[in-house]
Chain A
Amino acid sequence: MISLKPRSILLISAIFRVGLILFGEWQDTLMEVRYTDVDYLVFSDAASLMASGQSPYKRTTYRYSPLLAFLLIPNSFISRCWGKFLFSASDLFVGLFIHIILKQRKVPDYLCTYSMLIWLFNPFTFTIGTRGNCEPIVCAMILWIIICLINGSFLQFKICVLERQSCNVVQAAFWYGLIVHFRIYPIIYALPIVIFLDPRFFRSGAKPLLSDWTSDQGKARQINSELIDKCIVCDVSKSTFTRSRILFGLISGTVFLLCTGFFFHLYGWEFLHEALLYHLTRTDPRHNFSIYFYHIYLNYERELSVLEKLISFLPQFIVQLVLILCFAKDLVFCFFVQTVAFVAFNKVITAQYFVWFFCLLPLILPWSNMKLKWKGLCCILLWMGAQTHWLLWGYLLEFKGKNVFLQLWMASLLFLAANTFILIVLIRHHNYGPVFRQHTDLKTTKTT
């Protein structure tokens, strides 16, 4: 059993990432194939445009919030690696937040350590930050929002006149508004958060009680009727407009509108089109992991009817709704399954989207009954296998010029099937439990 302290793990991860960034710089200068992601060059160019007082949208294919360009302005005068260091630092923060969240829920040390290692030493995650991709920032913010929502102790603002618990709802709302402005996809978490802010747990004057991880995870099968939120709809409608919910909605909405309004004022319609509308209406016919890419390409020359657009949106909508209604109380698991499903059913899937659920995976694994040998390993191999299979056909198409569109499309169908299967397996093996216990004697039983 590894008995590394979190501090040591973070230190080793930091040194490793610094090394990778330096290696990346070396590779860029000397080798034909660049280590740095193309997107990083886009961000840097946009940042230097912003630094010289111009609109970052003058840089074609810059489709992010101006906040990102703003964060990367030091690229122009400190070092062009500044952004990479920032993203890698966010990466480390994600590791730290994973540790904090699990410790809050009394997960044993060894599991905390494994969870941290799963994130910090996952080849996918450490390359993504060091290559200059901005997703680690998004992940860090999501995890911080989770911390704010489940924690009450050390996050209070001294100046906050509301109670401690409301302070955290305020903080969570602020970061939530910001992240939806930054990346849009976290909007799918809005409903679960609102459901999660249940007045039975979020009572004024008292910190919500976390239900802890116990070693009883997964003893005998038991259908606990109190846990099944059959009447989650009734719950929501009965006391929908509670203080926490209203506060959360108002603050996050205000932050989002303020950010959007401010940048609209600065950069006009170009900002709105590139940073927001593009993502909402994006249909890219170029090949990607999504099952829809070939359908979009074959029909690109004609305008798709409203019915067709609706049909392609329906699976996504239904899955999200059902997952929310079934799992909202177990917020972290809900976020995870929602994100996996969102990515899998999206019209465009690129590899960087996988980070969105990778950062949540270490948070749900302590509650999973699935053992690494052999079910866990099978799932990993299945997922990677389906991806590799797709990549092989993609390579033949893009780098060998063979017409393998049909085979590539079938590979993307297989990839969806693999994602669905793994999602179902994870749901089946998850020990569902609401994050919070009730304050009254009506505690939810978890063991036999």
Chain B
Amino acid sequence: MSSHPQLRLVDIMYVTRTLHFARNNHVLRMKFVLLVPSFEEFDILSFQVETNSDAGKFIMKSYFENYESLHDSSFEDFMAHQLSSSLCQGIPDNWNVGVRLSVRELSLVGEGSHRHLSSSIRLQIGSASIPKLPAHLCEVIVIQRLPLGVFADPFELQIPHKHKAFRDIAVFGDTNLELPSFRSNRSAVEFHIDAGSNILFMQNNGTEFNLLLPLHARYQPLDESGYSIVEIGEPDMLMRCSVEGKQHKQSCLFVSPSNEKAKSTSATVAWKIPAGMKAHAGSVSVITFVTALLSTLSIVYASMFWSGTKVSKT
């Protein structure tokens, strides 16, 4: 741990989110904390470096290595507590870079049980002043946590022509396509989008990425009203840059956290999904069985009466 006051996690005034990559003994970890002026409050950035750029490629994969299912509290803990510290080689201490990722728009497109979640992500790079920052390649990572009532079809997401802009997409968690929501667990979709090379060199007022995620509704638990409301919140976003280091390629991760207040007022979309009504249970069962019985009796009667006979043409 560095003794520099800015680099100590305990000095962080606001909530940060960091990520813990794969437990790799050879990982060169680096911690960076930067205080960056932003529109309303300080954005604190921290990032972490790995020598092995493939380890922990999917952040949710690491999450599910540590946790069995997706819960908001576990996820928040995972993001907040998994921080290690070391310095990023070649980056000076007083580096001030503002990376801000925000959701400009979140909406649900379509009708019925199959819809698309449309989100518009804006990436802004504040004034940069790192003269000797090595060449780097950045990608934006978007993690959309899905509530219990909906799921994303991993096979649908693999269809290449639909998702040309994405470098990678993967679904983690419960990807069972058939079970109703009360028998399933949550899932999350992780997108990796190419942000471009050497983007930290220049100020950028805002690049926008549009995501269209196809979602499907699960069968909901029974409800008196006949509908179940499922809420989908904003995605979590970060940016990861791969820097060419002296010995190995390194990955630096940028997180642009918003504070708790902003998060609570962030947009959610509500999806109204039809659900069975408990009041129907008794009568539906009875009528179903009575109908089955009547059909059975008709067929039995017809078979016994008309087998072995010849019918005249009328």
Contacts and interface: CB of A to CB of B under 8 A. Distances in A.
Contact of A401 (B112, B155, B175, B221): B112
A423 B299 contact: yes
Place the interface of chain B in its size category: 35 or more
Contacts of A291: 288, 291-292
B180 A300 contact: yes
Contacts of B176: 60
B303 A322 contact: yes
B296 A319 contact: yes
Given A318-B300, A401-B113, A427-B306, A221 B288 contact: no
Contacts of A219: 310, 312-313
Interface string A202-236: 00000000000000001111111001110000000
Interface in B148-192: 155, 161, 175-178, 180, 182-183
B276 A298 contact: yes
Interface stretch (B199-207, B247-255, B277-285): B277-285
B272 interface: yes
Contact of A318 (B113, B296, B313): B296
B311 interface: yes
Interface string B282-314: 001101110111011011101110111111110
Given A286-B178, A295-B284, A218 B274 contact: no
Contact of B299 (A341, A399, A402, A432): A341
B227 interface: yes
Interface in A315-364: 315, 318-319, 322-323, 326-327, 337, 341, 344-345
A379 interface: no
Contact of A292 (B280, B288, B309): B288
A221 B304 contact: no
A227 B311 CA distance: 14
A301 B274 contact: no
A353 B287 CA distance: 25
B68 interface: no
Contacts of A345: 292, 295-296
Contact of A285 (B180, B273, B284): B180
A228 B307 contact: yes
| Max count, chain A CB within 10 A of own CB: residue among B155, B222, B292 | B292
A40 interface: no
A61 B178 contact: yes
Nearest to B221: A301
Place the interface of chain A in its size category: 35 or more
B130 interface: no
A160 interface: no
A216 B304 CA distance: 23
Contact of A406 (B175, B183, B280, B292): B280
Nearest to A222: B310
A397 interface: yes
B84 to A, nearest CB: 34
| Max count, chain A CB within 10 A of own CB: residue among B113, B155, B311 | B311
Interface stretch (A79-87, A134-142, A189-197, A412-420): A412-420
A64 interface: no
Interface in B19-62: none
A405 interface: yes
B226 interface: yes
A399 B114 contact: yes
B219 interface: yes
Contacts of B276: 294, 297-298, 405
Contacts of A311: 289
A222 B312 CA distance: 9
Interface in B216-237: 219, 221-222, 226-227
A327 B302 CA distance: 12
B65 interface: no
B275 interface: yes
A228 B295 CA distance: 23
A285 B220 CA distance: 11
Contacts of A222: 309-310
A315 B293 CA distance: 6
B111 interface: yes
A427 B307 contact: yes
Nearest to A446: B310
A286 B218 CA distance: 9
A284 interface: yes
A76 interface: no
A54 interface: no
Nearest to B227: A403
A319 B299 contact: yes
A401 B274 contact: yes
A8 B293 CA distance: 47
B111 A400 contact: yes
A218 B312 CA distance: 5
B177 A397 contact: no
A208 B181 CA distance: 57
B67 to A, nearest CB: 21
B300 A60 contact: no
Contact of B310 (A221, A285, A417): A221
Contacts of A423: 299, 302
Nearest to A318: B296
Interface string A421-448: 0011001111110000000000000100
Interface in A138-152: none
Nearest to B286: A295
A312 interface: yes
A301 B222 contact: yes
Contact of A298 (B284, B291, B293, B295): B284
A232 to B, nearest CB: 10
Contact of B303 (A227, A371, A427, A446): A427
Given A218-B312, A297-B219, A298-B284, 6 more contacts: A219-B313, A224-B308, A285-B219, A300-B180, A312-B289, A424-B299
26 contacts: A61-B177, A222-B310, A291-B288, A291-B292, A294-B284, A295-B285, A295-B288, A298-B276, A298-B278, A298-B280, A300-B182, A312-B289, A315-B295, A322-B303, A326-B304, A326-B307, A371-B313, A398-B113, A399-B111, A399-B113, A403-B277, A417-B295, A424-B298, A424-B302, A432-B308, A432-B310
Interface of A: 29, 41, 45, 60-61, 218-224, 227-229, 284-286, 291-292, 294-295, 297-301, 311-312, 314-315, 318-319, 322-323, 326-327, 337, 341, 344-345, 369, 371, 397-406, 409, 413, 416-417, 420, 423-424, 427-432, 446
Interface of B: 111-114, 155, 161, 175-178, 180, 182-183, 219, 221-222, 226-227, 272-278, 280-281, 284-285, 287-289, 291-293, 295-296, 298-300, 302-304, 306-313
In the A-B complex, the 7 residue pairs with the smallest Cβ-Cβ separation, listed nearest first, are A228-B308, A326-B307, A403-B274, A399-B112, A403-B226, A315-B296, A424-B302
